[in-house]
Amino acid sequence: MRIATLLILLMLTPLLYAADYAVVVARSSQITRLEIDNIKDIFLRKRNFESGIKLVPVNLLGDDAMRRNFEQEILQMDRETISRYWVSNHFQGISPPATQASLLSIKLFVERVEGAIGYLPLEMIDSELKVLYEF
Amino acid sequence: MSFKIKTILLLIIVSLAPYIITMIILGNAYRSDLEARLVSEMEYQLDITISRLDQSLQTLENDLRFIASLDIMNDVFTSDLDQRIFNLLLQKKSDLQLIGDFHVIDNNATVIASSNIERVGSSSIGVRFITIPVYSTFDQSQIAELVVEYDRENLSRLFANDEYLKYSLLANQELAANQYQIEDSLRVQGNLERRPEYTVLLEQDREFAFSILDSLARSFYFTLLIGIVVIAGIAVLVANYIVGPILLLATTARSVTNTQDYSQRVEVKRADEIGQLAGAFNLMISGIQDMLSRLKEESENKIKLAQEKHRTEMLQNLSTKLSKYLSPQIYESIFSGEKDVTLGASRKKLTVFFSDIVNFTSTTDQMESEDLTLLLNQYLNEMTRIALQYGATVDKYIGDAIMIFFGDPGTQGVHKDAQLCVEMAIAMQKRVRELRDEWQAAGFTKPFNIRVGIHTGYCTVGNFGTENRMDYTIIGSAVNLASRIESSAEPETIFISEDTYLLVRDHFDCLPASTVMPKGLSQPIQLYRVQTEVDQSQSTILDEDGFHLRVQPREINPQSKQRIQQLLQKLADDLKESD
């Protein structure tokens, strides 16, 4: 019971933080909703088109907590796994997503680049953006 | 110009000429080739430099392309909000030490990012030296341009310029305007491969470029000077080596000529041609010396011979003259060496002859001296000739008297000597008679008559006197007796002693005549008169005033007899008629 309770708690923990961030696209984007797996595939460059639009995932540069959170929540991979993944895909001509150094630049990038898809804190999301997934 | 100077000059010219000619040819060739070499070297350096510049530009372009390809360029979409491009460009500018700036210009021609922050947001930039398109990393669409404003100094600072070698990076229009850094220079140029509108000009100061040649020339002239000095020194030594012995030869030859001292020699101890010349010269001098010595000797011999000949001739003349005073037999005996001209005598049996002219003094007193001399000389000459004809030795003339003997130095035996002496006396008498006729015909009124005495006896014959003055003669009682006999003889007669008579009586008719008492003898000596031809044939002699007649019947030849008869008959008739 206690274990079940713990598991439940553990399962509920993300829900406790899920409302902080969101995967966003430009308001003008044709994309309206994506599942977490879809987002994962997009950021792992396994899925490049959505609704006939070439997708441009943009990642936050560096070792920011938000990026770690995104990788943990969405990609569900630690940094080392991700690094090995990109090394192995590099030789197949598949590069990691573009990066931006700041959340603001991610916001602008998503707004200005067609097909761009990024993640931002919820508080930065304004009317120019469209939330596809919150976490 | 002396041979020595000529030799020195010739040696210098011959030694230096190839050197100078070679140097001039090499110098000219080098000078003409040097420029080409320098230009070639400059072109090589220029190529390297241009290559470096092109490489630099290529590197720059590569860098730009690399920058353009970076993901970070995606920040163009966010207007380089995070200034990542700016930092990158600034870093690159710093790394490249770029003189100029990098700019990222978006598709709206607005500077989004720049190494010069002031230019961000600007829409105008300077000359775009290089423009590289920037594509997004995700859809390869051109999102911007990466532009570099580039100062030429970025390239020119790569030039390794110095005072004499200068590079210039010129735009073509600048090159056309002759913007040279060095006025008088060697120039090469080349265009950048990547930027053909730019020309790299390399100039090298011509004076500096050829300074190596000038240095070489200076070295050459210095070497030439040293060479001239050395070769001149060697030439002087060689000339002395060659000419020295020749001068010595000339000096010696002049010395020999001036001093006539042919004992001089040239001391040249060498085995070469000059040594041979000196040897030949010495040999020649030696030969001349020997020849002169021989000539001198021959000359002396000739002089001696001439003197000897002169002396001989003089002696011959003298002896010829002396011979007049000597009997030919004595003369020949002495000069043939049979007799030594030394004091000494020997006893021999000789036939001694004496003759004199009867009444010579009274006859000659009335004659002129010249006539007397003429007559006497002719007489003595004729008598002597006869005496010599019979082999007699004429001892001496004593005034009008003649002393002759037979038996020394040559003898044919006592008998023959006595016989020859008597024959001679007869011949003399005959000749005197003939001379008398001639003298009478010549106007001498009282002609000579001679008388002769002959005796045969032992005499001492030889040289008498002193070592300085001697006479070859005979002495002894026989000589005195012969003189006495001659004194006893009658005119135109020949008286001989009994001793002679006994020797010749078989050959001559002799009649006893008077006697004579020689001194120191107690008995008189019987004399004999030799019967001459006159005695035997003279039948008539008539000597009157105005008429002289002498008849010698034996001598009248048959052809003359009739004419004589006719003459005498006519004379008789004339005389008779004159009465």
Q: What is the pLDDT of residues B379-438, one digit of tens each?
A: 889 999 999 899 898 888 888 899 999 998 888 999 999 999 999 999 999 898 888 888
Q: How many distinct structural domains can be found in chain A? A: 1
Q: Does B555 touch chain A (CB under 8 A)?
A: no
Q: Which residue do the tokens 């092109």 mark?
A: B54
Question: Has residue A2 been placed in a domain?
Answer: no
In the predicted structure, residue B439 carries a pLDDT above the cut 90: no
> CATH number, domain at A40?
3.40.190.10
Give Cα separations from B138 to B76, B231, B375 (angstroms). Answer: 13, 89, 193
Of the spans A58-67, B264-273, B365-374, which averages the highest pLDDT?
Answer: A58-67
d(CA B484, CA A10): 229
Q: Which residue of B82, B136, B137 is in closest CB contact with A102? A: B82
Q: Does A124 touch chain B (CB under 8 A)?
A: no
Give Cα separations from B131 to B101, B155, B533 (angstroms). Answer: 12, 18, 190
**Those residues with Cβ within 8 angstroms of residue B425's Cβ, 6 or more apart along the chain or in another chain:** B353, B355, B452, B454, B494, B530
Question: Has residue A12 been placed in a domain?
Answer: no
Question: Has residue A13 been placed in a domain?
Answer: no
Residues in chain B with CB shorter than 8 Å from the CB of A102 are 81-82
Residues in chain A with CB shorter than 8 Å from the CB of B79 are 108
d(CA A20, CA A119): 11
Q: Which residue of A54, A98, A100 is in closest CB contact with B82? A: A100
CATH number for domain B40-208, candidates 3.40.50.12240, 3.40.50.1970, 3.30.450.20, 3.20.20.70: 3.30.450.20
d(CA A108, CA A36): 23
Task: Please provide the DSSP assignment of B116-131 as one string.
Answer: SGGGTT-S--S--SEE
H/E stretch holding B384 reads helix B369-389
pLDDT of residue A10: 47
Give Cα separations from B256 to A117, B266, B299, B559, B569 (angstroms). Answer: 135, 11, 21, 91, 101
Domain extent for A94? 18-134
pLDDT of residue A87: 93
Least confident of B242-251, B335-344, B500-509: B335-344
pLDDT of residue A12: 47
Task: Please provide the DSSP assignment of B465-504 as one string.
Answer: E-SSSEEEEEESHHHHHHHHHHHHSPTT-EEEEHHHHHHH
Cβ-defined contact of B77 to A99 (cutoff 8 Å): no
pLDDT of residue B415: 92
CA angle B356–B358–B364, rounded 5-degree value: 100
Of the spans B26-35, B113-122, B164-173, B437-446, which averages the highest pLDDT?
Answer: B113-122
Question: Has residue A35 been placed in a domain?
Answer: yes
pLDDT of residue B246: 81
Mean local confidence (pLDDT), B477-502: 90
Cβ-defined contact of B138 to A99 (cutoff 8 Å): no
Structure tokens at B96: 């490249």
Question: Has residue A25 been placed in a domain?
Answer: yes
Q: C-alpha B361: how far from its chain's center?
A: 79
Q: What is the pLDDT of residues B515-536, one digit of tens each?
A: 888 777 778 888 998 887 655 5
Q: Which residue of A56, A95, A108 is in closest CB contact with B78? A: A108
In the predicted structure, residue B347 carries a pLDDT above the cut 70: yes
Q: Does B142 touch chain A (CB under 8 A)?
A: no
Mean local confidence (pLDDT), A78-99: 91
Residues in chain B with CB shorter than 8 Å from the CB of A104 are 78, 81
CATH number for domain B343-537, candidates 3.40.50.720, 3.90.420.10, 3.40.50.300, 3.30.70.1230: 3.30.70.1230
In the predicted structure, residue B325 carries a pLDDT above the cut 70: no
**Chain A residue with the nearest C-alpha to that of B81:** A105
**Those residues with Cβ within 8 angstroms of residue B50's Cβ, 6 or more apart along the chain or in another chain:** B190, B191, B192, B193, B200
Peptide bond into B409 cis (omega under 30): yes
Q: Which residue of A98, A108, A109 is in closest CB contact with B137? A: A98
**Those residues with Cβ within 8 angstroms of residue B566's Cβ, 6 or more apart along the chain or in another chain:** none
B205 versus B125: which is more confidently predicted?
B205
Least confident of A37-46, B69-78, B141-150, B361-370: B361-370
In the predicted structure, residue B299 carries a pLDDT above the cut 80: yes
Q: Which residue of B77, B79, B82 is in closest CB contact with A113? A: B77
Q: Does A59 touch chain B (CB under 8 A)?
A: no
Residue type, B105: I
Question: Has residue A41 been placed in a domain?
Answer: yes
**What are the residue boundaries of the structural domains of chain B, listed by start?**
40-208, 262-324, 343-537, 541-579
d(CA B138, CA B143): 11
Q: Does A48 touch chain B (CB under 8 A)?
A: no
B447 versus A65: which is more confidently predicted?
A65
Least confident of A52-56, B67-71, B542-546: B542-546
Q: Does A6 touch chain B (CB under 8 A)?
A: no
Q: Which DSSP letter does residue B341 get?
A: S
Question: Are the C-beta atoms of B371 and B444 separated by less than 8 Å?
Answer: yes
Q: Does B77 touch chain A (CB under 8 A)?
A: yes
Cβ-defined contact of B138 to A56 (cutoff 8 Å): yes
Confidence at B194, pLDDT banded by 50, 70, 90: confident
Cβ-defined contact of B78 to A99 (cutoff 8 Å): no
**Chain A residue with the nearest C-alpha to that of B75:** A100
Q: Which residue of B74, B81, B82 is in closest CB contact with A98? A: B74
Shortest Cα–Cα distance, A15 to chain B (Å) = 32
Chains A and B form CB pairs within 8 A to the count of 42
Question: Are the C-beta atoms of A132 and A31 separated by less than 8 Å?
Answer: yes
Confidence at B34, pLDDT banded by 50, 70, 90: confident
Question: Has residue A31 been placed in a domain?
Answer: yes
Kindly compute the dihedral angle of the four CA atoms of residues A113, A118, A124, A129, in this order, to the nearest 10 degrees: 50
**Chain B residue with the nearest C-alpha to that of A55:** B138
d(CA B544, CA B492): 20
3 state DSSP class of B338: coil
Task: Please provide the DSSP assignment of B148-181 as one string.
Answer: EEE-THHHHTT----SSEEEEEEEHHHHHTT--S
Average pLDDT over all residues of chain A = 85
